[in-house]
């Protein structure tokens, strides 16, 4: 083997897998599972818990790694197939393609390979209780068992990062429109209704929302590592020492919130008595194990998850304000981009730099809400593509550029995707773009019964594509937080998700609408707006909701094939552009204003 091969990322992965298998033998394990999660079940992970990435070399945000003594597989959905295929090459880990993020194919694979009496293992501190139960059921059906009490990676990762130590700060009025005491009272009302004396929280967005606090421990999400125990009379926030200043600790104390060491969180559970409300999807197996055997568990969706998903009228008004600032930044960026093409060297990396700089010129901007996706031509066909200094495209010639980006602002979180023409778009480009536009319009114009399970709405957006025998592998939409996580539950627009009661659509929810169409190796099209659930007049058939489009950014009509649009769809697009111009014009000038006026002309 050459020196280059020995130094390759694939070889490093092979060595780590060999060390993992040695550790499995020492502990009598036939298999080891590595989910993409941490003790808070976060989507974006602090470096300490990027164990699946460290072991496999795959850098995508979602995926499950399973290792036996003679095989290894990484399960990812279609958003990551191309990326995973490249990053797993030569590692000995097989790419396992799943149909959705909710797939249980990995459990079926594991169960088939375990023999009766064998043991599989996983770190129960980072596995959701609901997922642990699914794993246990699948394995025990084969006469095997699961150990949840080990962390093999801790033995193998000598320079494993520690906990992030960034400070915690208060999200203040006027942007924080509901006082902390009011939010605590709302949660306690749900606790009383459920017959619970205590409520345990580990999910960081719930904790940040409930206590009106923000941090920077997780990339792109303004949250901080913490657990919380809410009682009917008081509450305890478990956070690492030194992260909260004296003034903030005093403010929390005034609202009956005690601050304790992060390390004391799970041990405190062993002393509880009375019923405890927990969300099995949003606490780990380790939390369940820490609770005394005699304590009654009340299993239900976190009240905060439901409450924070329904933005108040004051929050909705701040989001509209934020969308104008974000839209102005986008106009400034696109005006520069169109001027720069053919005159400057513009790459996919340049897009990220320029977009972030444009947003950062606005005083309420905090940081990006996720890693910008800028994919030119074939790179745009990978829904979660990320340009790197080692691998990125120069934007020149002819094609489609897909840009998916967003910002965290004190008054809201944004997420917008646009596809723009570079050179003259082809007839195929226009057809694909227009079909995706039809999907966006169909969902944006939809009216639906209040309380409908959100996954059931997915087909509305897909219908124009399905009519042509086309589809896309990701969901149509996700909930969005208020200066919080860009991906927020409980609502989701995806037919792969179960239409359970907690997914009901209610007034005030903000959801992305982002249909797409991808031609691997050629180009990708995705258009995304955020939309707010708004009540519309009640009828004899019940209460109804409709979407108010929040995002303010022109859609590139150079890519539209007019003959594929009905007159009512053209009317929607023209009305949208008129609103974009009206709202953004006061916030831009010069070249940005000229670009805005050009790109919002009626079709």
Q: Which residues of 236-250 are buried (b: 16+ CB within 10 A; e: fewer)?
A: bbbbbeebbeeebee
266-288: average pLDDT:
94
C-alpha span between 234 and 197 (Å, rounded): 11
Cis preceding linkage at 100, omega within 30:
no
55-70: average pLDDT:
92
Residue 7 is predicted with a pLDDT of 56
The pLDDT > 70 percentage for the chain reads 98
Nearest to 282 by CA among 36, 39, 33, 35: 39
How long a stretch of residues is the chain?
A: 603
Answer yes or no: is pLDDT of 384 > 90: no
Query: How does residue 60 score in pLDDT terms, banded at 50, 70 and 90?
Result: confident
Answer yes or no: is pLDDT of 104 > 90: no
Residue 524 is predicted with a pLDDT of 97
As given in the structure block, the two tokens for residue 443 are 């969902």
Answer yes or no: is pLDDT of 295 > 80: yes
Residue 155 is predicted with a pLDDT of 86
Query: How does residue 379 score in pLDDT terms, banded at 50, 70 and 90?
Result: very high
Contact call for residues 57 and 11 (beta carbons, < 8 A): no
Answer yes or no: is pLDDT of 3 > 60: no
Residue carrying the six token digits 């594929």: 564
In sequence order, the β-bridge partners of residue 277 are 199, 298
Answer yes or no: is pLDDT of 102 > 80: no
The pLDDT > 90 percentage for the chain reads 90
CATH 3.90.230.10 fits 310-595, yes or no: yes
102-106, 427-431, 578-582: segment of lowest average pLDDT: 102-106
Integer-rounded Cα Rg, in Å, for the chain is: 25
Answer yes or no: is pLDDT of 1 > 60: no
C-alpha span between 454 and 492 (Å, rounded): 6
Long-range contacts of 461-465 (CB under 8 A, 24+ apart): 461/493, 461/513, 461/515, 462/495, 462/515, 463/439, 464/435, 464/438, 464/439, 465/435, 465/436, 465/439, 465/515, 465/517
Residue 101 is predicted with a pLDDT of 56
CATH 3.30.40.10 fits 3-156, yes or no: no
Residue 4 is predicted with a pLDDT of 46
12-26: average pLDDT:
95
Structure-model confidence comparison of residues 186 and 271, the more confident one: 186
For the segment 511-545, what is each residue's pLDDT rounded down to a tens digit? 999 999 999 999 999 999 999 999 999 999 999 99
For the segment 229-260, what is each residue's pLDDT rounded down to a tens digit? 999 999 999 999 999 999 999 999 999 999 99
Does 3-156 match 169-308 in CATH topology? yes
Mean of the per-residue pLDDT values for the chain? 94
Residue carrying the six token digits 């699961």: 146
CATH 3.40.50.2300 fits 169-308, yes or no: no
Answer yes or no: is pLDDT of 79 > 90: no
DSSP 3-state of 545 = strand
Answer yes or no: is pLDDT of 122 > 90: yes
Report the 10 Å Cβ neighbour count for 602. 11
Cis preceding linkage at 386, omega within 30:
no
Report the 10 Å Cβ neighbour count for 173. 11
Contact call for residues 546 and 536 (beta carbons, < 8 A): yes
Residue 387 is predicted with a pLDDT of 87
Residue carrying the six token digits 């309420």: 364
Query: How does residue 78 score in pLDDT terms, banded at 50, 70 and 90?
Result: confident
Element (H, E) at 356: helix 348-360
Query: How does residue 71 score in pLDDT terms, banded at 50, 70 and 90?
Result: very high
What is the value of pTM for the model shown?
Answer: 0.93
Residue carrying the six token digits 């004051």: 314
As given in the structure block, the two tokens for residue 480 are 């969005």
Q: What's the farthest any 2 CA atoms get from each other in the chain?
A: 76
Answer yes or no: is pLDDT of 49 > 50: yes
Residue 98 is predicted with a pLDDT of 87
Structure-model confidence comparison of residues 391 and 526, the more confident one: 526
179-197: average pLDDT:
97
C-alpha span between 366 and 331 (Å, rounded): 19
C-alpha span between 515 and 493 (Å, rounded): 10
Answer yes or no: is pLDDT of 585 > 60: yes
Residue 132 is predicted with a pLDDT of 94
Domain ranges of the chain: 3-156, 169-308, 310-595
Structure-model confidence comparison of residues 487 and 3, the more confident one: 487
Sequence-separated (6 or more) residues with CB below 8 Å from residue 592 = 328, 331, 332, 335
Cα distances from 71 to residues 21, 91, 114, 565, in angstroms, run 10, 11, 12, 51
Answer yes or no: is pLDDT of 2 > 50: no
Query: How does residue 82 score in pLDDT terms, banded at 50, 70 and 90?
Result: confident
Nearest to 209 by CA among 229, 186, 180: 180
103-119: average pLDDT:
91
301-307: average pLDDT:
96
For the segment 490-519, what is each residue's pLDDT rounded down to a tens digit? 999 999 899 999 999 999 999 999 999 999
Residue 62 is predicted with a pLDDT of 87
Sequence-separated (6 or more) residues with CB below 8 Å from residue 105 = 75, 96, 98, 99
């Amino acid at each position: 083997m050459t020196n280059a091969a020995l130094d390759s990322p694939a070889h490093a992965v092979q060595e780590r897998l060999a060390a993992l298998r040695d550790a499995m033998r020492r502990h009598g394990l036939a298999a080891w599972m590595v989910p993409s999660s941490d003790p808070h079940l976060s989507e974006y992970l602090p470096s300490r818990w990027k164990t699946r990435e460290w072991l496999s070399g795959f850098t995508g945000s979602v995926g499950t790694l399973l290792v036996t003594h003679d095989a290894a597989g990484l399960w990812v959905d279609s958003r990551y197939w191309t990326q995973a295929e490249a990053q797993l090459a030569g590692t000995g880990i097989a790419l396992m393609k799943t149909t959705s993020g909710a797939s249980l194919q990995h459990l079926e694979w594991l169960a088939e390979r375990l023999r009766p009496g064998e043991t599989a293992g996983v770190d129960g501190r980072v596995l959701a209780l609901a997922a642990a139960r699914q794993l246990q059921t699948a394995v025990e059906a084969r006469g095997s068992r699961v150990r949840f009490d080990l962390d093999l990676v801790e033995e193998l990762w000598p320079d494993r990062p520690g906990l992030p130590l960034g400070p915690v700060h208060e999200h203040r009025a006027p942007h924080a429109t509901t006082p902390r005491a009011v939010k605590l009272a709302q949660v306690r009302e749900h606790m009383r209704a459920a017959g619970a004396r205590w409520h345990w929280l580990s999910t960081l967005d719930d904790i940040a929302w409930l206590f009106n606090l923000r941090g920077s421990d997780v990339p792109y999400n303004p949250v901080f590592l913490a657990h919380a125990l809410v009682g009917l009379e008081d509450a305890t926030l478990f956070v690492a020492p030194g992260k909260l200043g004296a003034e903030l600790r005093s403010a929390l104390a005034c609202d009956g919130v005690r601050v304790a060491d992060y390390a004391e969180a799970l041990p405190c559970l062993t002393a509880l008595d009375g019923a405890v409300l927990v969300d099995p999807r949003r606490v780990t197996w380790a939390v369940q194990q820490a609770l005394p055997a005699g304590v009654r568990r009340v299993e239900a969706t976190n009240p905060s998850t439901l409450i924070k998903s329904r933005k108040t009228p004051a929050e909705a008004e701040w989001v509209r304000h934020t969308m104008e600032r974000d839209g102005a930044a986008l106009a400034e960026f696109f005006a520069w981009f169109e001027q720069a093409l053919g005159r400057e060297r513009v790459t996919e990396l340049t897009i990220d730099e320029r977009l972030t700089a444009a947003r950062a010129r606005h005083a309420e901007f905090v940081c990006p809400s996720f890693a910008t996706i800028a994919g030119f031509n074939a790179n745009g066909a990978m829904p979660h593509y990320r340009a790197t200094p080692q691998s990125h495209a120069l934007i020149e010639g002819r094609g489609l550029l897909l840009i998916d980006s967003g910002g965290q602002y004190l008054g809201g979180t944004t997420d917008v995707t646009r596809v723009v023409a570079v050179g003259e778009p082809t007839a195929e480009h226009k057809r694909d773009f227009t079909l995706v536009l039809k999907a966006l319009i169909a969902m944006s114009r939809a009216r639906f019964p209040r309380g409908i399970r959100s996954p059931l709405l997915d087909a509305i957006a897909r219908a124009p594509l399905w009519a042509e025998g086309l589809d896309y592998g990701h969901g149509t939409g996700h909930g969005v937080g208020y200066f919080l996580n860009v991906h927020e539950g409980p609502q989701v627009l995806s037919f792969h998700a179960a239409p359970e009661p907690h997914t009901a659509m209610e007034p005030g929810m903000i959801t992305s609408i982002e249909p797409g169409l991808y031609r691997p190796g050629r180009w990708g099209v995705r258009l995304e707006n955020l939309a707010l659930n708004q009540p519309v007049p009640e009828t004899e058939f019940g209460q109804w909701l409709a979407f108010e489009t929040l995002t303010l950014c022109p859609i590139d009509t150079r890519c539209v094939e007019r003959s594929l649009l009905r007159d009512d769809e053209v009317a929607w697009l023209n009305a949208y552009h008129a609103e974009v111009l009206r709202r953004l014009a006061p916030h831009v000038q010069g070249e940005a204003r000229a670009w805005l006026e050009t790109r919002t002309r009626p079709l």
